[in-house]
Structure 1
Amino acid sequence: MNRLQDVLKNARAENRAVLIGYLPAGYPSVEGSIDAMRAMVEGGCDIIEVGLPYSDPAMDGPVIQAAADQALAHGVSTPDVIRAAGAVADTGAAALIMSYWNPIEHYGVDRFAAELAAVGGSGVITPDLIPEEAGPWIAATDAHDLGRVFLVAPSSSAERIALTAEACTGFVYAGAVMGVTGAREQVGHAAQELVARTKEATGQAVCVGLGVSTGEQAAEIAGYADGVIVGSAFVRRLLDNRDPRKGVDAVRELAAELADGVRRGSKAR
């Protein structure tokens, strides 16, 4: 968790938002996904979300599902995902795993936390886990010094936001739009209001995701949020390039575009 906290602290000292990029481990292969994640860091991502592919993804849109389905078909496993997180950590970026709760519980809650910490991982985002049901997870992440990231949404009440923020030890993930993940032409209008409501409840960083795909959108969000989260747009670059080398180049270029947008937006705070 210290690396995650350091990344957020340093960005705050520079008065800028962080850029957080997501890719599922195992697409187009485990090594191919690691190469792409490294390229995202080279392009300007501060934090990488390593997705753990799951067969019943309630929040994932069609782009992420397409990549995750292929990763599962190739036999990607939880140890592969943890190894990918370790490879990201080796770059100096903060490495988080994004996972639904069922795979973590099935693997073993403490085992999962211990193995992630051992490779230098900084934390986990659990989109379908709520704080009231997270007792074993809170204990395991506290024991292994991992950050916990829970989600709030535009529909969240003030009480729900406060409860969720209190349970987070990394940052608070603010879903900019209702519904599944996926790049959109416009970021949801509720995003800025949700960030403001969440900041009223916590001094922690609040990062916005779901829908960001361009440098202009990244700049817009960086003007009021502590972090800009991009997932489907990166996955789409890999899906659109059958040549893995071209896919790696494409995600590096997108990361650079988004990082530039984040810097421009941060200056407008």
Structure 2
Amino acid sequence: MGRIGERFAELEAEGRKAFVAYVMAGDPDFDRSLEVVRGLPAAGVDVIELGLPFTDPMADGPTIQLAGQRALAAGMTLKRTLALAREFRKGDRATPIVLMGYYNPIFSHGVDRFLRDAKAAGIDGLIVVDLPPEEDAELCLPALAQGIDFIRLATPTTDDARLPAVLRNTSGFVYYVSITGITGSAVAEAREVGPEVARIKAATDLPVVVGFGIRDPEAAKEIAGTADGCVVGSAIVARIADGEPAEDVLAYVAALAKGAHAA
């Protein structure tokens, strides 16, 4: 069992829901990004999703797109993203890190080389939004062979016919996208999310966490209560974009985590 499995087992034993936070690596620059990432565990974050900047993030809304552009403009690359993870690991060997992004930078780096480098940097899981289950041989299966979890997205349009393919070879947890559309585009509704999460959990023993459309502690509590945890990304990234000091961003994250953990 890797760090992701261990963390969810710990949370289950404690009777707590998971709080997962997404930030874009290198936004607005390497040093300030690292400062925020280093502060996430103390703010109550159970799993860190680290965004990999990319020039064509088709599943992301304006907030995440602009974060990626700022990171790229500041010189962020896949190599520097892994360097940021290595720096974080110098002070934290326990918090799981999931690298979230698109396949092109990984393909350009070379899959075998990427997996070796990611493992050495302390990456525990991958979310690659533009690789469907039909392409598992590209990255999913090699990642699993290296002990790196491959986390799949399920959405409101993932029907019962499609769900088995989505769950096949998925590990770590299942990320349920609570809305149809791009990141940051709507507000999640627990009454709609709950039945969908129950449907997914009936088909897998993996934890299910819910993301997209969560912006305040009350929503974090409500949505986490329908699942095994929740994810907040755009709302955190927006505060970084506004130039808030790291301590203020982390205070906001701590409030969200408190909400999720109260579920």
Same fold (TM over 0.5): yes
Structure 1 stretch displaced more, 177-186 or 56-65: 177-186
Q: Which residue of 2 aligns with 1:258?
A: 256
Secondary structure in 1 matching 2:139: helix
Tell me how far 1:183 sits from its aligned partner: 6.4
1:101-250 mapped onto 2 (5 Å cutoff): 101-182=103-184, 184-187=186-189, 189-241=191-243, 246-250=244-248
Q: Which residue of 1 aligns with 2:8?
A: 8
Tell me how far 1:149 sits from its aligned partner: 0.5
Structure 1 stretch displaced more, 71-80 or 173-182: 71-80
Tell me how far 1:169 sits from its aligned partner: 1.1
1:94-138 C-alpha deviation (Å, 9 max, x unpaired): 111001111111111111111111122111111121111121312
Q: Which residue of 1 aligns with 2:78?
A: 78
Q: Which residue of 1 aligns with 2:62?
A: 62
Query: Counterparts of 1:181 and 1:50 in 2: how far apart (Å)?
Result: 15
Tell me, yes or no, if the aligned pair for 2:190 and 2:222 is still in contact at 8 Å.
no
Structure 1 unaligned regions, length at least 5 = none
The percentage of aligned residue pairs carrying the same residue is 35
Tell me how far 1:247 sits from its aligned partner: 2.6
Higher helix fraction (1 or 2): 1
Tell me how far 1:86 sits from its aligned partner: 2.8
Tell me how far 1:188 sits from its aligned partner: 6.6
One-letter code aligned to 1:203: D
Q: Alpha carbons of 1:194 and 1:85: their partners in 2 closer, same or farther (altered >3 Å)?
A: farther
Q: Alpha carbons of 1:86 and 1:190: their partners in 2 closer, same or farther (altered >3 Å)?
A: farther
One-letter code aligned to 2:257: A
Number of residue pairs matched?
261
Tell me how far 1:189 sits from its aligned partner: 4.7
Q: Confirm or deny that 1:95 pairs with 2:103.
A: no
Tell me how far 1:186 sits from its aligned partner: 4.6
One-letter code aligned to 2:9: K
Query: Counterparts of 1:57 and 1:191 in 2: how far apart (Å)?
Result: 25
Q: Which residue of 1 aligns with 2:42?
A: 42
Tell me how far 1:161 sits from its aligned partner: 1.6
Tell me, yes or no, if the aligned pair for 2:179 and 2:188 is still in contact at 8 Å.
no
Tell me how far 1:180 sits from its aligned partner: 0.4
Q: Alpha carbons of 1:45 and 1:209: their partners in 2 closer, same or farther (altered >3 Å)?
A: same
Structure 1 stretch displaced more, 79-88 or 62-71: 79-88
Secondary structure in 2 matching 1:19: strand
Tell me, yes or no, if the aligned pair for 1:48 and 1:88 is still in contact at 8 Å.
no
Tell me, yes or no, if the aligned pair for 2:47 and 2:95 is still in contact at 8 Å.
yes
Tell me, yes or no, if the aligned pair for 2:188 and 2:212 is still in contact at 8 Å.
no
Structure 1 stretch displaced more, 104-113 or 198-207: 104-113
Tell me, yes or no, if the aligned pair for 1:85 and 1:97 is still in contact at 8 Å.
no
Secondary structure in 1 matching 2:168: helix
Query: Counterparts of 1:147 and 1:222 in 2: how far apart (Å)?
Result: 22
Give RMSD over aligned pairs: 1.6
